[in-house]
Structure 1
């Protein structure tokens, strides 16, 4: 099979890039021909297809001339379309798998796929298909104001980076793509949603239910292969991006009202790092909290294994984060907010704990409950939740989807 994988970044940047790179490598390893289309960037991994990559666009760093041209490229990039057209002509893919293309690549490439009658599957790694700011999250609250194409709400609430000008641009982008051109509706054959919540959300915004299929992300770790007890650690752990939507302030408030709680390690980096350190001092819990820079690989795994529980206090509608999958696969107790796709893999009190979104008191109660629970048994049940979410099973389902779409085209 000849598969064209498309993502705007060709280096490990986040969950979308990890999936894009891992799956491309898996497909190649199994004998499929894989081409990639992306944007040029100093951090890019080497690729034999980089001659087709589009020029780098970083709208916050670009020269004045590029900034003036940026609005047009966001809505419809002629460079992307022409280079994608050449790649499609030279590679002749059987199917195109789209990941994140917004802004830097633009959906101009979809018209090439449509004209050549090549089936397109689009992976929904975030909410950008239906939400101008990607997150369904504005002013500290989950937001659905743009349902029924009411993109003027994005302008009214300055939902994109708090900027009226940028919000006007992304609202215009959404209006043109979804109301005027209906470019996704016409060119995308199937959307892949990593959670039931994601599917329900995009369907509620008007995407046809028949065109959305749930395909959970995969997690492959030695711990997922067998059910054995994992020793209970000593500290609470948050790891991931330090940003407002992650709800770390809720966790700090819960720790403040739980004097007997274990110590907390916060592992990661992000725009809220300095503010969170100040909050810890203001709350008087600096002796209970340790900040560590972002960790990866074996070093991160050892930190996870040493924890008593992993806390996911997100206040936005998390999709299906790798933090959840990774923690469950390692047999750790997870305490997560009841939001987005998080409850889909946690049975409250059996394979982890759920607390009311944004409620520090409820989170504190769940933390205090740890001492009266059989955490080893909960850890085994946590592993069981992700036993079927292996790379091989995910891969087989993905190939079945590819074959089905190719057969129909």
Structure 2
């Protein structure tokens, strides 16, 4: 098949799991014999824009007409069988769906979060679950400044959420949910269940696997409140106050809480902070871990760290909600703790490393779980199946097929979607464009 992958890459200073997922899928498809092209924008490029253009970026978050025209031209030139959309924030917008509709090309969209039903994409606010905007106006998100704590920065996301919801739901042929837990949330929020298909992210065979009992407990990820960093710090302080567990806590990552974490770790023998590391260093830390902690307070849509730990034969201690509760078989491949409960997290961390034989057994079970469902081969098979179904669905709804490009012209089967109406909404540009967490 000919596949065009559409993605807005995240800032390089804050590496994203989504970028890794996109790159892995492109590698999978190419190795599988498919012709893959990319249509990408990079958030890093915003900094190089002239000041006036940079200030206007938030205005393009709900709708970017230049992207619609440019992508239409690209579709006509490359004639893909299917377009696979990932992240469109902040430089692409829902105009990519309209461009595909203009040219009659089937669309598959991977949902990496909850942006379809929540302007901030997390269903999380003030340390706990939030569904104030689900199925309603996104005004609560603006009132609470759900994006980066700023009402002004939240406005473009709220407008896009309000004016483009139906465009996404009607214009995309298949939505790929990255976990069953995510799919349940989205169906409950009103998304069309018939278009939501579960296709887990995949993890390549790790370069290193655990060969011994492990040297530390590991946290690997963005240093944010929703990732459970303050919760982990509180739980580790509780463990330290009771005498420790004989292993240090290692934290690696970057994010808004980096200064706080660095100050907390300074001068302690039981905590080591490494900051942002490359993929090879992260793989080494994972392979040497006795357990990997995933204490997220938001409903993780997947959790690459969970599967990467299982691939390396390392048990996981994770919050018992969202996708981690689906990925971790409690007591078999790892342990689940009460979401948001520091005492429960401390108890689970103690239990995970207290019995070396049990720890080893959980690591081995996690490895088997990885082999059964998260390998590249399994991921490619699922992706190909989703593409075939999307193409079939698209033809049934009026899309052109690649054999339908005769003398009638390429637009003969199009289902054009109009530009959303945002004229009655005022958006204030900011000097610093928003960037999703």
Task: Give TM-score, length-normalised by structure 1.
Answer: 0.88
2:392 matched to which residue of 1? 407
The equivalent residue for 1:353 is 335
Residue correspondence of structure 1 range 10-409 to structure 2 within 5 A: 13-39=15-41, 56-57=45-46, 63-178=50-165, 182-221=166-205, 230-258=211-239, 259-261=243-245, 262-280=247-265, 286-369=268-351, 370-372=353-355, 374-388=358-372, 389-408=374-393, 409=395
CA–CA distance in 1 between the matches of 2:137 and 2:331?
A: 40
Query: In terms of mean alpha carbon deviation, does 213-222 or 166-175 score higher?
Result: 166-175
Distance apart, 1:280 and its partner CA = 4.3
CA positional deviation for 1:267? 1.3
Deviates more, 1:187-196 or 1:9-18: 9-18
- In 2 relative to 1, CA 280–94 (structure 1 residues): closer, same or farther, beyond 3 Å? same
Q: CA distance change for structure 1 residues 69 and 295 in 2, over 3 Å: closer, same or farther?
A: closer
Q: Secondary structure at the match of 1:130?
A: coil
Structure with higher RCO (Cα < 8 A, 6+ apart)? 2
Between Structure 1 and Structure 2, how many residues are aligned? 385
**Quick check: 2:210–2:312 contact (8 Å CA) kept in 1?**
no
Equivalent residue number for residue 430 of structure 2: none
State the 1:150 CA deviation. 2.6
Give the distance between the partners of 1:125 and 1:39, measured in 2 at CA. Answer: 17
**Alpha-carbon distance between aligned partners in 1 of 2:43 and 2:330, rounded to the nearest angstrom:** 43
Which runs of 5 or more residues in structure 1 are unaligned?
43-55
**Aligned with 2:371: secondary structure?**
coil
* 1:368 positional shift: 2.2
CA offset digits 1:97-136 (Å, max 9, x no partner): 0000132101112112112221101001121121111222
The SS at the match of 1:184 is helix
Task: Sort the Cα spacing of 1:291 and 1:206 in 2 relative to 1 into closer, same or farther, 3 A.
Answer: same
4+ residue segments displaced more than 4 Å: 61-64
RMSD: 2.2
| Contact 1:5 1:35 survives alignment (8 Å) | yes
> Does the 8 Å CA contact 2:43/2:91 hold for their aligned counterparts?
no
Gaps of 5+ in 2: 396-437
